[in-house]
Structure 1
């Protein structure tokens, strides 16, 4: 938890907030909470931002679906899954970050090396780090795959293969395609074409962030249209999937949900729509003899 950043997003979006940090930072969280609440104007009230200090309080809070609108868990797959299973309150976030990079047969291989190395080694523990590398089978014949594998190994990346890659590259077979290493390790698999890559991503991915490296614009557009992930990139590292890098400013997290906010979530993702109407006695009356005209009006709230 980064309480200052999260609190600023809550204040900016007009939301009350209950913060829960890790027990290993209990004293730091208390001090930061005091600093944050002391800076809130009296007209707003310091109670806008609360602090939960005990894990035992969480189960009871998760029952309060009548007063809590949203839960945003930040942590392990196990934590997020447990919270989702324990509450009726909508949960915003992601459990897994199984991010893929697919290298197409038409890829610029020098570019591919830069992107793959960045996606895996820039910050391996990040949720937007590459966990699975998919490679077009034609690159096995040209030797392009071998060069890339050597680059990864030289950077200290442990490689595990799918059924095809483990045989071709003589590397240990991965236990599962749906695995988030969060370290200098990744799974490699060889696929027939872009359609096979898309199918693999939909079957084994987590709808977080996926990237294609190709010089073929038609193949790129097919991938961008059909991969149903929160962020889909062309010729760029998966590490770009980030609120700051996307220009959102502070980020509360990344959501793989298909309802409400998706992808990096900033202030806009913490807002919902409310309709205000000012009339002078209008009634619907079955829409008899009524013509609706819709236009934007500049009105003060």
Structure 2
């Protein structure tokens, strides 16, 4: 299979390269938007077959990416990057599953008739050209491409430099599926340079890119906030909290927190900070330390005094997304203090309260202004698939257009279709 070959990092080459991608994507949107559901689904199923058939090539490309990593990368980082045959098969299965989802394009969102007889419908339409800027995880490229094809959008992928070969291999399969279904290959493209200037070029591509979705650490998101001249759908880092309220079932809370932290440490929905009510801290902390010997717990002075197996936390710990088997622990003096601490330190992604007190849960869930707020459940359920939405392109932490898991419906805009019978306006 012929993969996209990385081009050299030269500013003039990068500018021309990104401009060419954007123009090709824009040119492809009309045919993709006009394609019916069956055609877009056929492209997805063909892409899934191409992924399965190219499994060995994908794994080999990924092995080259991993071999090129700098020494000292944590295993959690490497795991997010790694592809094996099982993971490639899972990528293909996810694309097939997206093909089975209802078509979001053409949905009638509202309909009303005016006194003058005008029949007005609001219908869902594709956004257009979406640029996806993300770090390390090659599966993001597959999911994002499939979601965009299904929703009638062209996509330009800019994965991290550490996954450029893996991304190119995945994109080659997606493009093969498009061509097999009679759609333009340029509906899915990847930036083929590690030059960081490519990100800025995408953010400045007014009139060619309709939406930029960044998915990565705080540094990437801050760059996007600072440089973007096109609309963005921000996916901030996942500094997620789990608060053990005074009325929590301690055994249940400990089990939930272990899952929320350690099921997969490298995902954005993993709990990074554990907040514990002072009234139950002497029971919760030893139970946590017993249940999580494979997790480094960093506590405030009060927590360390109660459970000496904890390490002292620094002020920086309260705002850190570890993406590793590390969690901070904060003791608070009640619900109001917990709400204040979470509100001050959360990234607005997902936060949870663990309690048998429904009124406390209601107050926490109302006051904490995050995209997802949970009661007695692991924060790792913050996921489009778990919400029944199918695959997601990310978790939006802003408040405009989309918030929380971004699936097919959130990748559409709308327009008004107005039918008349000769009406003129006086």
Distance in 2 separating the partners of 1:92 and 1:227: 21
Q: Taking structure 1 as reference, are residues 135 and 283 closer, same or farther at Cα in structure 2, changes over 3 Å only?
A: farther
Deviation, structure 1 residue 182: 1.4
Matched, 1:148 2:283: no
- Aligned mate of 1:120, from 246, 261, 270: 261
| Alignment counterpart, residue 51 of structure 1, candidates 177, 181, 190 | 190
Partner of 2:202: 61
What TM-score does the superposition give when structure 2 sets the normalisation length? 0.62
Structure 1: how far apart are the matches of 2:154 and 2:307?
Answer: 53
Could you tell me how far apart the structure 1 residues matched to 2:244 and 2:172 are?
49
Secondary structure of the residue that 2:413 maps to in structure 1? coil
How many angstroms does 1:261 deviate by? 1.2
**Higher mean Cα deviation, 193-202 or 56-65?**
56-65
Which residue in 1 is equivalent to 2:168?
30
Give the Cα–Cα distance (whole angstroms) in 2 for the partners of residues 96 and 28 of structure 1. Answer: 23
Q: Return the alpha-carbon distance in structure 1 between the equivalents of residues 298 and 225 of structure 2.
A: 31
Aligned residues: 282
- Normalising by structure 1, what TM-score? 0.87
C-alpha distance in 2, partners of 1:217/1:24?
A: 46
Of 188-197 and 237-246, more deviation after overlay is shown by 188-197
Query: Are 2:388 and 1:247 aligned?
Result: yes
Aligned with 1:73: secondary structure?
strand
Match status 1:10 vs 2:148:
yes
**Inter-partner Cα distance in structure 1 for 2:166 and 2:251:** 45
Q: What is the rounded CA distance, in whole Å, between the counterparts of 1:146 and 1:99 in structure 2?
A: 19
Q: 1:284 to 1:102 in 2, by over 3 A?
A: farther
Distance 1:153 1:114 in 2: 10
2:314 counterpart (174, 177, 180) = 174
- 2: distance between equivalents of 1:203 and 1:35? 44
Report what 1:259 is aligned to: 400
Unaligned runs of 5+ in 1: 286-301
Which residues of 2 match residues 222-241 of structure 1 at below 5 A?
222-241=363-382
Q: Which moved more, 1:251-260 or 1:156-165?
A: 156-165
Match of 1:21 in 2: 159
Aligned to 1:292: none
CA–CA separation in structure 2 for the residues paired with 1:45 and 1:150: 55
Residues 80-133 of structure 1, C-alpha deviation per residue, up to 9 Å, x if partnerless? 222221212222232321111111111111101100111111111211111111
Q: Distance in 1 between matches of 2:252 and 2:425?
A: 61
> Greater share of helix residues, 1 or 2?
2
1:140-219 matched pairs, under 5 angstroms: 140=281, 143-154=282-293, 156-170=294-308, 171-176=311-316, 177-219=318-360
Describe the shift of the 1:101–1:31 C-alpha distance in structure 2 as closer, same or farther (beyond 3 A).
closer
